[in-house]
Amino acid sequence: MQSRTHCCKSKARGIGNGGDNQEDVHHVKRTPSSPQGAPKKRSAFVDLTNTKKVQNDGCVKNGKAVKKTPTSKVVIKANNNLKVSKQPSSEEQCKKSEEQLEQLEQLEQSISTDTGASLPKEQPEVQEQKIPEEFDVDKEQVGDCLMSPEYAKDIFDYLRNREEKFVLTDYMHTQPDLNGSMRGILIDWMVEVQENFELNHETLYLAVKLADHYLSVTEVRRASLQLIGSTAMLIAAKFEERCPPGVDDFLYICDDAYKRQEFLVMERKILQALNFDINIPVPYRFLRRYAKVAHASMETLTLARYVCELSLLELELVPERASRLASACLLLALITNHLGGWTAALQYHSGYTLGELGPLVRSLYAMLASPADENLRAVENKYSHKVFFEVAKLPLVHIETLEETLSEPGFTLG
């Protein structure tokens, strides 16, 4: 990216608060009706469901129905002569089916006699996951189709499995013209863009992931770094927002440093680098889920969000899995607000033990304790606002309290 001054110059007018109460506000309400009015009924649907059924008497053997075939079929020749090709009669078909059933029963009996065991029964393809009652945080929302309580645990388990596909490493050594400081400035600017456009927080997290994945496989020049960040925000907004900003909006916020065609070309490059699979699990989604399991207040959740968003600037935290990072951020917020440690319910839903989260929690604590970079203040300024309960101004928990909580014995889940 060209410079921090250039990034600041590119701010859009009218910075929004970007608060949690604005995350689900949609600026444009679309009408559900189509331009042509009400949809037309499909007359073909009536035809399909009322076709004439041919009823034939089936033959039954040992409670098993055998479908009869037509006794004859008509074949039309080119000379319009009708020729009837006879098929086996229904009695012959029934007799043949009876013989086949008897042979199958004899084969089953011989196998069970030789092995001393019966044939295994067919198992259902999908087995319902049984959640212990004390860990079922979705039971109060049963019947709410918007929350999908029956599938909530399965959904987040699926997202955890998808994380393995998007694991990153420290890629900066493969970029001869970039360094960690430049990446930090880019992410700090992307936070400002998220505020200016009042985008969802999921959009910001996904955009950072897209930029990191592209930089991990493509060698770039520093002059195109802002273009990469802007295009990643554009793609993420298309994926997450109902009314995403367009290319012209990003041209404006970049102060016309790039041309429209450059955005379109970069968009294709980023999508091709990820094989068009941009459904990347982000820590923000896990954080909201785990906060619900912990029955955390909005203040505690906002503090965890602040720690999680601040971690986006840290290059050494790029390889961390989203679910583990979200767990560590929530645990640090719980300890800071003196709300206890890692409970058995949190361990069950997250899949992480207290011992597995300890090293990462200590790294996040060191990040908060280190002096803030004067060039990277967007996240701190954002969470110093009253909308976010001024959580950035909260004092750090004492290190002894932190270590005491992290040294507690873990849980053993059956």
The pLDDT of residue 60: 47
What pLDDT score does 147 carry?
74
Q: What average pLDDT does the segment 195-218 reach?
A: 97
* Better-predicted residue by pLDDT, 110 or 413: 413
Residue 171: pLDDT band (50, 70, 90) is very high
What is the three-class DSSP state of 351? Answer: coil
- Assign 130 a pLDDT band (cuts: 50, 70, 90): confident
pLDDT at 246 over 50: yes
How confident is residue 139, by pLDDT bands cut at 50, 70 and 90? Answer: confident
Look at residue 167 and tell me whether its pLDDT is greater than 80.
Answer: yes
pLDDT digits (tens, 9 = 90+) for 13-35: 444 444 444 444 444 444 444 34
Q: How confident is the model at residue 59 (pLDDT cuts 50, 70, 90)?
A: very low
Q: Is the pTM of this model over 0.85?
A: no
- Check whether 165 has a pLDDT greater than 80: yes
Mean pLDDT confidence for 338-357:
95
Contacts 24+ apart (CB under 8 A), 337-342: 337/299, 337/300, 337/303, 338/397, 338/401, 339/294, 339/296, 339/300, 340/405, 341/405, 341/406, 341/408, 342/410
Half-sphere exposure of residue 211: CA atoms within 13 angstroms, side-chain side: 29
Domains of the chain: 172-274 (1.10.472.10), 283-407 (1.10.472.10)
Residue 108 CA, chain-centre distance (Å), reads 47
Question: In the predicted model, what is the mean pLDDT of residues 368-393?
Answer: 95
CA-to-CA distance for 411 and 193, rounded, in angstroms? 42
pLDDT for position 12? 43
pLDDT of 159 reads: 94
Is the pLDDT at 322 greater than 70? The verdict is yes
Average pLDDT in the chain: 80
Least confident interval from 37-41, 65-69, 304-308, 355-359: 37-41
CB 259 within 8 A of CB 276: no
Average pLDDT over residues 98-108: 72
Name the band, by pLDDT with cuts 50, 70 and 90, for residue 53. Answer: very low
> Would you tell me how many other CB atoms lie within 10 Å of the CB of residue 92?
11
**Residue scoring higher pLDDT (132 or 361):** 361
Alpha-carbon span 110 to 155, nearest angstrom: 45
pLDDT classification of 219: cutoffs 50, 70, 90: very high
Distance between CA 135 and CA 397 in Å, rounded? Answer: 29
The mean pLDDT value for 320-338 works out to 97
Higher pLDDT, 6 or 213: 213
User: Which residues of 3-71 form beta strands (DSSP E)?
Assistant: 59-61, 64-66
Note the pLDDT of residue 290: 97
Q: How confident is the model at residue 127 (pLDDT cuts 50, 70, 90)?
A: low
> What pLDDT score was predicted for residue 113?
56
pLDDT exceeds cutoff 80 at 39: no
Q: Give the span between the Cα atoms of 304 and 287, in whole angstroms.
A: 8
Percent of the chain scored above 90 by pLDDT? 60
Asked whether the predicted pLDDT for residue 250 surpasses 70, the reply is: yes
pLDDT-based confidence at residue 191 (cuts at 50, 70, 90): very high
